[in-house]
Amino acid sequence: MNYTIETVQQQLEMLRQQIEQHNYQYYVLDDPTVSDAEYDQLFSRLQQIERDYPELVTPDSPTRRVGAAPLKVFSQVTHDTPMLSLNNAFEEVAVKAFDRRIREGLAVDQVEYAVEPKFDGLAVSLRYEKGMFKTGATRGDGYTGEDITLNLRTIKAIPLALPVSKVPGLLEVRGEVLMLKADFIRLNQQHLEKGEKIFANPRNAAAGSLRQLDSAITAARRLMFFAYGIGPNEDTRVPQSTHSDIVQFLGSLHFPVARECAVVTGCDALLAYYRKIAAQREYLSYDIDGVVYKVNSLSQQSKLGFVARAPRFALAHKFPAQEATTRLLGIDIQVGRTGALTPVARLEPVIVGGVTVTNATLHNADEVKRKDVRIGDTVIVRRAGDVIPEIVSVVPAQRPENTQAFVMPQHCPVCGAKAVRLESEAVSRCTGGLFCPAQRKQAILHFASRRAMDIEGLGEKLVNQLVDKAVVRNPADLYQLGILALANLERMAEKSAGNILAAIEKSKQTTLTRFIYALGIRNVGEATAKDLARYFGSLSRLIDTDMETLLQVPDVGPVVAQSILNFFAEAHNREVIERLRASGVCWEENDGSINNPPGDNVISGKTFVLTGALLNMTREEAKEKIETQGGKVTGSVSKKTDYVVVGEDPGGKYEKAVNLGITLLDEADLRKLLQ
Ligand SMILES: NC(=O)c1ccc[n+]([C@@H]2O[C@H](COP(=O)([O-])OP(=O)(O)OC[C@H]3O[C@@H](n4cnc5c(N)ncnc54)[C@H](O)[C@@H]3O)[C@@H](O)[C@H]2O)c1
Ligand SMILES: [Zn+2]
């Protein structure tokens, strides 16, 4: 196709505008809207056109510049030596071309390179004066960065003081701040639980954590630093000969440096290093997006010099993208072992980092809403190591017409029970805990566990087999098991089958606490089960209870109470309980009153009159105790008096109480009440 200068000009402008917008999203807002691969494509298109039409290159083109201008809310730091970017290569041919250019530029046959992993974080510069950490800044647009000294001081890996004997003057250390994969997963998990925004990848998490106005937030996030270079310095003790010496020197100052740094010679060795690191990538504790090749000799480096935005002596050889763009075909709901409903994106198959991806997690309803993911959307998918692929974002410009926002289903798609979301949680959960097929294994294992029904020998392997073979679908089925069904299972001798049947039989005789706990009601642990058993005395009272009553139980709040109500509201759960009782599971019950005679409702709001001398406490003490529990003590008996406490030698008040028919208590009764 033949372009006129005008159409090329138009294309250029569009590309530049798009790239500027992406730079802003990525560098300033830490919130990219396209995948890196897509960005890199736009960028190399722009580079290509500018190579073909050098007369159209403008000094402000993104290909001439680094990053983006610093945010105004931070103070600015001028870099005495600019912080540049790196030229990129994705293909081996580009690496070979790089090596050839270097050899030609230096007029040598072979070149020695320092090779390093390319950290996927954000570049910072740390300024030390007389060995003390003074200021730290982001790269910004390469010339001016943001002053983030306070935030950097919270990073444990950054030394606040260096041995002055080694660096008496000025030293600027350059390197990358990043978040370790494990810390990233933990942070997102926390955010997910709290219903907060989750980060697309460790780089964004690191950038978002570091570029905070409140350094307390940075301190709460765990960040890591790796040093890879030195900026301005006025010190002859800084190595002057090779880059690898500099890295070693940084290590001796106690800066973390990558263990994978090496020195190699020739182009084949570069490619071998790339393959070696690519194979290790998954196992590294931090994300890398490629490797970096740097001419090792510093004098050769300065001979080669710089192009617009990057040194000529270095090259970033990037790994294939971990992100890709594809179409969202549907949103399925998966039900986890604990009943959590997770929306999962069904995708048009796409290759991400060498693996075909057809599904990606959307985490929960809030996340879907925040990203506004809709069926038919074009989405960016990211895959990192063995982490489940996820949707990073939607490409809004490519949304088809008439799409609808996603709504979380009101019922469990597996068992049809009501799905509810508790106020304190980010996820919806199926309430059919005892019979939902998705939750079977978990429910049965918990039911049989030691502190619940205590069925010895019924462990995970056995439960898996029983459920997979559909011999047991819910805890009630356990009590219908026969020796044959058990003995037919793998690795199950007749003797151990007999033992298990005996353990099941034995478990029938249990306590109400254990039984309530065994039901696996969300938020009802052992302690709560005990409180409930004490308070209600019988299971049927608990099943028939209401919110108001539940809130009277010690330590039961609205969230726990709602969980309990949801659980018993599900008819299938009640059926399983009926079957359990019919098969002989039993415990002692009472009407609850003997467990609860003391407590608020007895003293609180009641009026007491004391008469006669008490043996083990003074009247003052008795009065105080009654009052601290919310009761009232008055001096004379009337129809409004609830209790008269009668001690030794009571006076006229005693007779009056008898006449009015008021409940009399002796000292022992009072003490019991007060307990
Ligand atoms: N998705 C988007 O919208 C978007 C927008 C802008 C940029 N980007 C991404 O950022 C890239 C461009 O960013 P860039 O200019 O920072 O370039 P870059 O990240 O490709 O390379 C330069 C940077 O590499 C880092 N680095 C890591 N390890 C290093 C080492 N051992 N030695 C030296 N430097 C090392 C330094 O921070 C340096 O600034 C793009 O290729 C793209 O992947 C994405
Ligand atoms: Zn269910």
- For residue range 4-15, list pLDDT tens digits in order: 777 888 889 999
* Mean pLDDT in residue range 315-332: 90
Q: Which ligand lies nearest to the CA atom of residue 474 in the structure?
A: 2
- What is the chain's percent helix, strand, coil content, to nearest 5? 40, 20, 40
CATH dotted code for 600-674: 3.40.50.10190
Contacts of 488 (CB under 8 A, 6+ apart): none
Tell me which DSSP letter residue 302 carries.
Answer: H
Residue 2 has pLDDT above 70, yes or no: no
Q: Do domains 5-64 and 419-594 have the same CATH topology?
A: no
* Mean pLDDT in residue range 54-72: 88
Spell out the CATH class of 323-398. Answer: mainly beta
Percent of the chain with pLDDT over 90: 58
For the Cβ of 143 lying below 6 angstroms from any atom of ligand 1, the answer is no
Model pLDDT, residue 119: 97
Q: Is residue 40 annotated as involved in ligand binding?
A: yes
Q: What is the distance in A from the centroid of ligand 2 to the CA of 274? A: 48
Model pLDDT, residue 220: 93
Annotated catalytic sites, by residue? 118
Half-sphere exposure of 331 (CA within 13 A, CB side): 27
Closest listed residue to residue 71, CA positions, set 121, 136, 144, 16? 144
* Mean pLDDT in residue range 9-38: 86
Residues facing 112 on adjacent strands: 265
Q: What is the distance in A from the centroid of ligand 2 to the CA of 436? A: 4
- For residue range 515-556, list pLDDT tens digits in order: 999 999 988 988 899 999 999 999 999 999 999 999 988 888
Model pLDDT, residue 594: 60
Closest listed residue to residue 362, CA positions, set 393, 321, 324? 393
Residue with structure tokens 């790339």?
274
Contacts of 182 (CB under 8 A, 6+ apart): 285
CATH dotted code for 5-64: 1.10.287.610
Q: What is the DSSP string of 185-215?
A: HHHHHHHHHTT----SSHHHHHHHHHS-S-H
Residues facing 144 on adjacent strands: 78
Q: Is residue 116 annotated as involved in ligand binding?
A: yes
- Contact between 171 and 128 (Cβ < 8 Å): yes
Model pLDDT, residue 576: 95
Of the listed ranges 165-179, 360-374, 600-614, the one predicted with least confidence? 600-614
- For residue range 446-481, list pLDDT tens digits in order: 999 999 999 999 988 899 899 988 899 999 999 999
Model pLDDT, residue 521: 94
Q: Which ligand lies nearest to the CA atom of residue 429 in the structure?
A: 2
Residue 599 has pLDDT above 50, yes or no: no
- For residue range 582-595, list pLDDT tens digits in order: 999 999 988 876 66
Percent of the chain with pLDDT over 70: 97
Residue 600 has pLDDT above 60, yes or no: no
Q: Is residue 38 annotated as involved in ligand binding?
A: yes
Model pLDDT, residue 595: 61
Q: What is the distance in A from the centroid of ligand 1 to the CA of 98? A: 18
Top-confidence residue, 589 or 596: 589
Model pLDDT, residue 668: 85
ipTM, two decimals, is 0.95
Model pLDDT, residue 1: 46
**d(Cα 602, Cα 630) in Å, to the nearest integer?**
10
Model pLDDT, residue 160: 95
Local confidence band at 240 (pLDDT 50, 70, 90 cut-offs): very high
Q: For ligand 1, atom 32, name the residue with the nearest CA.
A: 228
Q: What residues does each domain of the chain span?
A: 5-64, 76-318, 323-398, 419-594, 600-674
Ligand 1, atom nearest to 123 Cα: 37
Q: What is the distance in A from the centroid of ligand 1 to the CA of 157? A: 22
For the Cβ of 116 lying below 6 angstroms from any atom of ligand 1, the answer is yes
Model pLDDT, residue 143: 93
For the Cβ of 25 lying below 6 angstroms from any atom of ligand 1, the answer is yes
Contacts of 663 (CB under 8 A, 6+ apart): 642, 643, 644
Residue 50 has pLDDT above 60, yes or no: yes
- For residue range 117-160, list pLDDT tens digits in order: 999 999 999 999 999 999 999 999 999 999 999 999 999 999 99
Residue with structure tokens 């730079």?
23
Model pLDDT, residue 601: 56
Fold classification of 419-594 is DNA polymerase; domain 1 (1.10.150)
Q: Is residue 36 annotated as involved in ligand binding?
A: yes
SS3 259: coil
Q: Torsion-angle region of residue 203: left (phi > 0), alpha (psi -120 to 50) or beta?
A: alpha
Residue 302 has pLDDT above 60, yes or no: yes
Alpha helices in 235-350 (DSSP H): 243-252, 267-280, 298-304
For the Cβ of 123 lying below 6 angstroms from any atom of ligand 1, the answer is yes
Fold classification of 76-318 is D-amino Acid Aminotransferase; Chain A, domain 1 (3.30.470)
Distance of CA 457 to the CA centre of its chain: 35
Q: Measured between alpha carbons, how far apart are the two ends of the chain, in Å?
A: 93
For the Cβ of 175 lying below 6 angstroms from any atom of ligand 1, the answer is no
- For residue range 257-282, list pLDDT tens digits in order: 999 999 999 999 999 999 999 999 88
Q: Which ligand lies nearest to the CA atom of residue 246 in the structure?
A: 1
- For residue range 653-670, list pLDDT tens digits in order: 888 888 888 888 888 888
Tell me the pLDDT of the chain averaged across its residues.
Answer: 90
Model pLDDT, residue 393: 87
